Amino acid sequence: MPVTMVLGAQWGDEGKGRAVDALASKADIVARFAGGDNAGHTVNVGSEIFKLHLLPSGILHNQAICVLGNGMVINPIKLLEEIDNIRALGVEITPERLAISTRAHIISPAHIGLDTAKEKARGDKALGTTLRGIGPTYLDKTGRKGIRTAEMLDIEKFAELLQETIASANEVIIEHGVELIDVEKNVQAYVDAAERLRPFIQDTMIILNERLEKDKFVLIEGAQGTLLDVDHGSYPYVTSSSTTSGGALAGLGIGPKYVDRVIGVAKAFCTRVGAGPLPTELNDEIAERLRGTGENFWDEFGTTTGRPRRCGWLDAVMLRYAVRLNGLTELTVTKLDILSGFDELKIAVGYTLDGKRIDTPPTTNDELERCLPIYETLAGWQEDVSQITVYDDLPQSARDYVNRIAELAHVPVKMISVGPERDQLIHVE
């Protein structure tokens, strides 16, 4: 069992951390391959809630080496804050347990400032980014003027690069009425962070491939979701990296011959944060019921941003698209417990576009915005399913709903979460 991938099959926030946590107890390595601290994975263990943004969810399992891959963009300050917070909860984090790729790119204060300035300049056409510098960092990466984590191994050179980058960014920022970046203060903070992170910086491509050659189990943890992929999502309302299975290979430096399991994680309904098409979006009391009140972390408010998520019925058109695009071998369905108490449930099985039925998503946002979902209605259930641990003990209507998801997606559902706790995960035989 060399490589298992866990990927988001919707617009992010699907509950990937739950699936990763369930599998990580047997993993030799748990690796992130893309994104930065715009991601947010929450794992609930007993009375403790672990909110992770950069560290893989596997950090909670002591036997696993955790890897931050070359495809990631890393804010050193945020990473250290997260390490310190997790350590305070009793989790051991050492250079033997955490490896940061020498080829990952650094989010600098310049990138954060530029992100804010550019989003402000867009006005009504803002993309809804997290303002954490993700996009500008990837832009510098592809423009061949980024700063990689390996530069932190030479502190003096690293400080010089930061000074140049911030000074250049300030020339742009001042034109947008955004506060200038304090060069001296920020360079010192990043130099201090580099001193602490240097022991963790390694060639993770070598670490991964050496263990794969020995048939060790590598678990790959995706960030965001398939429908936010920079190439295959609803561009430009996407993230700045590749969130799919292909992106996982490039973002870690491993080959496809090792992959034998690709798990897509999908909520039992749909959510999205920020702008962009959401064909099954609801703006009524059903949406409010799906979203929750925000009084607990299981409600539909972003782990990273705190923003309320847009909610709607499950979209099987988009789910099939994600299955095909990633080569998914199975699904994990999360938040089935939220659907308890509905008299009936709906699944979008196709779209009507300008009077014609289509069964695959169109490639342009203009067309996708005009799509009207074709719904199939299924019976709901009233029972509380949150304490059920065996699939056959679920109400018949709940099993019918899960089975229909599998039929429409053309892959089996192998895991179902019915609550936030570790033991609220049902394995389907």
Give the active site residue among 13, 140, 229, 337. Answer: 13
Give the active site residue among 41, 105, 111, 232. Answer: 41
Pairing of strands 218-221, 3-8: parallel
Specify burial of residue 223 (Cβ count, 10 A radius: 0-12, 13-18, 19+): buried
Strand partners, 375: 348
Query: CA 417 to CA 426: how far, in whole Å?
Result: 6
Query: CA 12 to CA 222: how far, in whole Å?
Result: 9
Question: Cα–Cα distances in Å, from 287 out to 280, 290, 309, 311, 384?
Answer: 10, 5, 10, 5, 20
**Phi and psi (nearest 5°) for 396?**
-55, -40
User: Which of 82, 80, 100 has the alpha carbon at shortest distance from 33?
Assistant: 100
Is 13 an annotated catalytic residue? yes
- Are the C-beta atoms of 134 and 115 separated by less than 8 Å? yes
Query: CA 294 to CA 107: how far, in whole Å?
Result: 30
- Cβ contacts of 120 within 8 Å, gap of 6 or more: 126, 176, 177, 178
Is 41 an annotated catalytic residue? yes
Catalytic center residues: 13, 41
